[in-house]
């Protein structure tokens, strides 16, 4: 994997970088100083990369990972939420997130999330969009929004996650604002495997990507699309705009943002 490491180091100024290992396209979230928390630019770049991969006919698999070894992606950069003032801000944010997740799920080749460290919030949603997930022992997964921001997920994300881990575990995860460790992630089927140590994660991800890349492309593509169509039947026609607006325009949400940035415990009022 030395070629990939060299490429990442040379391109370190970019927040989201890509490289090639044979038929495998690597995507690295590259803000290790911020635990790879996503900026608006990173969301846009991920859509661009997904479109790029769809046009690269010699790419047969894609691996997503985080730089630095401490996090896959630790959510969205919270400082960006300070600008939220209206219902339109909230709806636009979740709509943008749904566009990103749809772009990732629509990639024509198998996608693999290689997870080390924190995989939370938007990062956990991105990992859930991938076809296969593997992790190192340090992986931690969840949506601690009931403890941090007081917002909610979009309906497509609730549907996606409940299809992966079930309604009961998803409620437990969000309502207790807890994180699953790698052992629990493997036991509940969220992960395909856990590597023996941190160092072996990139090599194992590459080997797994090469394994699926050798299989019939149309079979893999049809399987991705069919299962997504089945899953999407969980999404009701009524939508979720009322839920999103209620959470993101609340006093609790603004309190969550400010307390997070100030590194203090939020005071929830339910308003």
Map out the domains of the chain with their CATH numbers: 2-196+215-262 (3.90.226.10)
In whole angstroms, what is the distance from residue 110 CA to residue 217 CA? Answer: 9
Tokens standing for residue 9: 């180091």
In whole angstroms, what is the distance from residue 130 CA to residue 122 CA? Answer: 13
CB 103 within 8 A of CB 62: no
pLDDT given for residue 121 in this prediction: 96
pLDDT given for residue 7 in this prediction: 44
pLDDT given for residue 237 in this prediction: 86
What's the whole-model pTM score? 0.93
Residue among 43, 35, 19 nearest 69 (CA): 35
Q: b/e for 196-218, b at 16 or more Cβ within 10 A?
A: eeeeebbebbbebbeebbeeeee
pLDDT given for residue 83 in this prediction: 85
pLDDT given for residue 92 in this prediction: 93
- pLDDT truncated to tens, each residue of the chain (271 aa)? 434 443 443 344 499 999 999 999 999 999 999 999 999 999 999 999 999 999 999 999 999 999 999 999 999 999 989 888 899 999 999 999 999 999 999 999 999 999 999 999 999 999 999 999 999 999 999 999 999 999 999 999 999 999 999 999 999 999 999 999 999 999 999 999 999 999 999 999 999 999 999 999 999 999 999 999 999 998 988 889 999 999 999 999 999 999 999 999 999 999 9
pLDDT given for residue 11 in this prediction: 40
pLDDT given for residue 249 in this prediction: 94
In whole angstroms, what is the distance from residue 229 CA to residue 222 CA? Answer: 11
């Amino acid at each position: 994997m030395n070629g990939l490491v060299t490429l990442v180091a040379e391109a370190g100024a970019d927040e989201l970088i890509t490289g090639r290992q044979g038929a495998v396209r690597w995507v690295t979230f590259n803000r290790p100083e911020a635990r790879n928390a996503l900026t608006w630019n990173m969301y846009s770049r991920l859509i661009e990369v997904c479109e790029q991969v769809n046009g690269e006919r010699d790419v047969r698999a894609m691996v997503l990972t985080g730089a630095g070894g401490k996090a896959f992606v630790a959510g969205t950069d919270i400082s960006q939420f300070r600008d939220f003032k209206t219902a339109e801000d909230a709806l636009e944010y979740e709509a943008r997130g749904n566009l990103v997740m749809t772009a990732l799920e629509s990639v024509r080749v198998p996608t693999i999330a290689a997870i080390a460290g924190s995989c939370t919030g938007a990062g956990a949603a991105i990992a859930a969009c991938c076809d296969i997930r593997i992790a190192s022992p340090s992986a931690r997964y969840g949506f601690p929004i009931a403890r941090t921001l007081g917002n909610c997920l979009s309906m497509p994300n609730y549907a996606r996650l409940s299809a992966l881990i079930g309604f009961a575990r998803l409620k437990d995860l969000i309502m207790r604002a807890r994180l699953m460790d790698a052992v629990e992630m493997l036991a509940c089927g969220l992960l395909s495997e856990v590597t023996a140590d941190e160092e072996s994660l990139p090599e194992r991800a590459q080997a797994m990507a090469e394994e699926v890349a050798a299989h019939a492309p149309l079979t893999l593509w049809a399987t991705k699309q069919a299962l997504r169509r089945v899953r999407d039947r969980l999404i009701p026609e009524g939508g979720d705009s009322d839920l999103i607006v209620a959470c993101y325009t609340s006093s609790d949400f603004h309190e969550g943002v400010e307390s997070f940035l100030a590194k203090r415990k939020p005071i929830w009022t339910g308003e």
